[in-house]
Structure 1
Amino acid sequence: MEELKKIIVDLNSVFEELIPIERNKLTAAADHNVVELEECMKREQVAILQLKGLDQRREALQQKHGWNGMSFRQLAENLDEEQKADIQPVFDELDRNLQSFREINGDVNEVIKTNLHMVENMLDKTGPYSVQGKESETEKHYTSRKA
């Protein structure tokens, strides 16, 4: 059971690194700071790779013990009271970290969608430009209703 606890503790550590990155990403997106947003995404990719590695360790551990397909909650339910008391605090911390990450990530996604919509609207108004920065002429499509 110590192996499982170690994996959960490591997951918590990664999420504790990832949550501030997501907060910075939210601020960067809201401020239209593309450079900072890209930096956040690079740091986020490192954390995602760490999460994938931990998930592989978890899957191997579950397979080793015959716990295939069980969620962390299901695993906790199958523990004796002493083991459950030992591991419950790290499970609870993981729940809090996941909830916090999901909330911030949802906000980030909404801001980025809004920004993308604004860019699309601006492009629709201005039209395409040539490499020299001048508006390029486009052929009218035969289904176009514009004169």
Structure 2
Amino acid sequence: MMDEKTSGSLISYFNKLLDFYQKFLGLEKEKLDDLQNGRLDLLDECLKREQAFVLEARGLEQERAKLMDLTPQPDAQFRALIPQFPGEYREQAQALFRRLSSVLEEMKETNQQNTVLLEQKLHAASAVIDKLKNRSELRKTYDEKIRDGSQPPAFLSTKI
């Protein structure tokens, strides 16, 4: 059985983790919306914010490791620790586990959708670049559009 102080610390940590992943999920949904609506120019900013989340996740993982060392089963997963919580904390831990699992599952699904859309966009971009490379008249048109500052005939820059 876990003591009350450790139980309270774990509950607090998992609430913080839930809040973190809900915000991260919001960013992933924003990125999905940008991809679905062709707002590729906004992806760079999303990726910068995503990198900040990844760094924060590393810090949270270090915090988790320290807290887990205080438990009777330091190598256990959160689900396996739930029976170790004192009665008054056990129900709260179980509810947190369900909510966190739900958010993480939704995040996994959203990330998978992002990956599929990004792969489709990359395939389309590769096809346009291949056309430009193999057809000098298209390359000339593209270069002229770039020089005069107007939009090239494709949706991307060859700098990608």
TM-score normalised by L of structure 1: 0.79
Residues 79 and 64 of structure 1: CA distance in aligned 2, closer, same or farther (over 3 Å):
closer
- Distance in 2 separating the partners of 1:45 and 1:2: 30
Displacement of 1:79 after TM fit?
Answer: 3.2
Residue 16 in structure 1 maps to residue 26 in structure 2: no
Deviates most, 13-22 or 62-71: 62-71
Read off the aligned partner of 1:73 and give its amino acid letter.
R
- Distance in 2 separating the partners of 1:40 and 1:56: 25
- Counterpart of 1:123 in structure 2 is 129
- Distance in 1 separating the partners of 2:46 and 2:32: 9
**1:101 pairs with one of 64, 84, 107:** 107
Displacement of 1:85 after TM fit?
Answer: 1.3
Deviates most, 40-49 or 52-61: 40-49
Report % sequence identity: 24
**Any residues of structure 2 matched to 1:57-76 within 5 Å, and which?**
57-76=63-82
- Distance in 2 separating the partners of 1:60 and 1:66: 13
Cα-to-partner distance string for 1:11-38 (whole Å, 9 max, x where unaligned): 1111111112111101212233233111
Partner of 1:100: helix, strand, or coil? helix
Aligned-residue CA RMSD (Å): 2.2
- Distance in 1 separating the partners of 2:65 and 2:72: 10
TM-score normalised by L of structure 2: 0.73
- Distance in 2 separating the partners of 1:67 and 1:58: 13
Displacement of 1:6 after TM fit?
Answer: 1.0
- Counterpart of 2:149 in structure 1 is none
Residue 30 in structure 1 maps to residue 36 in structure 2: yes
- Counterpart of 2:151 in structure 1 is none
Displacement of 1:102 after TM fit?
Answer: 0.9
**1:45 pairs with one of 40, 51, 55:** 51
Partner of 1:68: helix, strand, or coil? coil
Read off the aligned partner of 1:34 and give its amino acid letter.
L
- Between the two proteins, the alignment pairs up a number of residues equal to 133
Displacement of 1:124 after TM fit?
Answer: 1.9
Displacement of 1:80 after TM fit?
Answer: 4.4
Cα-to-partner distance string for 1:60-113 (whole Å, 9 max, x where unaligned): 111233533211111114334433213111111101111111111111111001
Displacement of 1:54 after TM fit?
Answer: 1.2
